[in-house]
Amino acid sequence: MPGYFIFDSLTAISMAIYAGLALATFLAAPRRDREGSQLVGMAFIVFGTLLAYSAASLGLFAVGWIITALPYLAGFLPSGPRIALGASTAALVAGTAVAALPGEGSHTAAFVLLVLAVLIRKGIFPFHSWVTLGFERSPLLPMGLLVNGHLGAYLLIRFGIPQFAAVAQQALPLLSILALTSAIYTALLALSQKSPRRILALLSVSQASFILAGLESRNEEGVTGALLHWSVVAVATTGLYLVYRSIEARHSRASAPDDHLGLVTRAPRLAAFFALCGLGLIGLPGTLGFAAEDLLFHGSLESHPLLGITLPLATALNAITMYRLFSRLFLGRGAGAVPALPDALPRERWALSAAAVFLVVFGILPGALVTARAHTAGQIASLLGER
């Protein structure tokens, strides 16, 4: 419908990748996660996210945002992060209302409210704790779909920066510092964790923080890297969630391993998928993560040198955490000490193979995706004053 929806490269790529993630999640989810309230919750989250992606107005975007939060606010999904999602939704609704008022002061107030919604929704420091609690206490796969929509970053790229460019130029340095602080702090915090769910949550927040930080580069190369990194984080972490949830459904000790489980002897395919998604997340050469971080690093080095220090440091810390988690789940025991359990089922292989192919193929041949993202990146850089 003209005036209500928009379909450009940003919308098309975002919707295509997210729809693929939703389909993969449904295919690979344990049967118990595809029934009852969890299925309803995931349907709301997916529909709301796709609606928000296609919205041509801030008001319709807010409707999509609200729909994604409804399963938690209404209690369809137990032990959900109601307070955080409620606060971020309230900030977005208030910002949307204020944005309709005339005057420069209302524009500043609206942007501040929208940024507050972004910070809470993305779990940027000091609002990171709701993400770890949500992953630990709420059903994992719906939470994965919720955070991997990255509606906070989309809100800034689609509406915040284009509608309030002058305010955004002044505010982005502070937002970038908060994002970099979040990346380092959550990476350090993950090193001390034992719960796999908490580790996965902190890894997700740490790596996703660079999406916001990359916007401060204000040049096409850096913003393109941030947009590619968005795709990497969404696909790679979805793969990690799916593998871990499969293990958790098969092995009673996976949720709180007090020792190494050694599952590679019983589930080598799941181990391989977990390793590949983890390596893609931290930017292994030959994966899309490497191309994204390379663009992000070089595009931001001159204009935002702090990112040039923080990105390698946080990535190195996250690599250590990934190896610790992989070792705890898959290494350390011989076959005789590991209970029998099924390896990746056919439907799980299809879903996880799609994630692996995306990370590797676009890592080797990133040109098409870079070109598709460059148009949006150029527009953002122009609005922020490319330098």
Q: What DSSP string describes 302-330?
A: TT-HHHHHHHHHHHHHHHHHHHHHHHHHH
pLDDT of the residue at 354: 94
Secondary structure of residue 5 in the 3-state scheme: strand
What are the distances in angstroms from CA 276 to CA 239, 258, 352? Answer: 9, 24, 10
pLDDT of the residue at 335: 64
- Expressed as residue numbers, the domain containing 286 is 9-384
Give residues with Cβ within 8 angstroms of 287, minimum separation 6: 232, 276, 279, 280, 359, 360, 363
| Domain count within the chain | 1
Could you tell me if 323 and 214 are in contact, meaning their C-beta atoms sit under 8 angstroms apart?
no
Q: Does any domain span residue 231? A: yes
Tokens of 162: 């284009």
Dist CA 91 CA 113 (whole Å): 5
pLDDT of the residue at 186: 94
User: Which residues of the chain are modeled with pLDDT < 70?
Assistant: 1-2, 302-303, 335-336, 385-387
Q: Does any domain span residue 119? A: yes
Q: Does any domain span residue 3? A: no
Tokens of 67: 């729909």
Q: Does any domain span residue 4? A: no
Q: What is the pTM of this model?
A: 0.93
Q: Does any domain span residue 190? A: yes
pLDDT of the residue at 387: 46
Q: Does any domain span residue 280? A: yes
pLDDT of the residue at 255: 75
Q: Does any domain span residue 233? A: yes
pLDDT of the residue at 232: 94
Q: Does any domain span residue 100? A: yes
